Amino acid sequence: MVGFGFMDNFIMIQAGGLIDSTLGVKFGLATLTAAAMGQICSDVSGVVFGGVVERALSRIGFNPPSLSQAQRKLPLCRNVSMAGAVIGVICGCLLGASTLMFMDLESGDRQRRSHETFDAWNQMVDQCHAIGARYSTIYSAGGDVGVAIPQSGIVRDCAESGIILRCERYNFESTPPTMCVPVLTPDGKVVAVVEFKGKKIDHDVFTEDDEKLAEMLASHMSIIFMTKMGDSLNR
């Protein structure tokens, strides 16, 4: 029963954690739903591999006690058997639960909040018509969601410097005017970069007024980030 309890709890925790951090984040499943799906995986494994543990123990010399049918029906024998099964399952489940000490228990919740933050950012940028940009892209410094910051270029320069950068010297036909705005935490850490590319008015460039609007937008994005992810930064 120790082996059964260990396998049951171990598979449930591992499968539930994996489901919570993948399907749970993608489809917005509750943690209890992920735990229930993990339990399904554990029960199926128990049915498929039910006799594996017993056969393995039998090979190394742990055989059932040689008791007659009459002895097995005695109240004392039944009580001892029940107590042994209960204690064995408890010990096995505790051993299986010990894997929690080596797992990142906040991973699923952190990824879920990252996706919520990124969705809110996308809505804000899409609704910011005052800047008048044709295209906009959000680059994530963490790389958990969205587009990762490239290794070179104006976006990388903006992330490293932490200041707004405007590039207006390119040809309008091949490369439109570009403005990159960093999203900063209160301590000055860059968590994302918003790239605005091209103006809706032909042959127009980003101005200082656009820069002020973008800075205000980045400030609101920072507030959302700290509201959603501030606790994980402080840990």
> pLDDT, tens digit, for every residue of 125-142?
776 677 888 888 888 887
Instruction: With beta carbons less than 8 A apart as the criterion, state whether 12 and 97 touch.
Output: no
The pLDDT score that the predictor gives to residue 5 is 81
Residues whose CB falls within 8 Å of the CB of residue 227, separated by 6 or more in sequence, listed in order: none
Q: What angle do CA 155, 172, 141 make, to 5 degrees?
A: 10
The pLDDT score that the predictor gives to residue 52 is 74
Model confidence at 234: pLDDT above 60: no
Confidence at 231, pLDDT banded by 50, 70, 90: low
Confidence at 154, pLDDT banded by 50, 70, 90: confident
pTM over 0.85: no
- What is d(CA 166, CA 206) in angstroms, rounded to the nearest whole number? 7
- Domains in the chain (CATH in brackets) are 2-105 (no CATH), 112-234 (3.30.450.40)
- What is d(CA 201, CA 53) in angstroms, rounded to the nearest whole number? 72
Model confidence at 4: pLDDT above 70: yes
The pLDDT score that the predictor gives to residue 144 is 63
- What is d(CA 4, CA 200) in angstroms, rounded to the nearest whole number? 65
* 42 C-beta neighbours (distance < 10 Å), count: 20
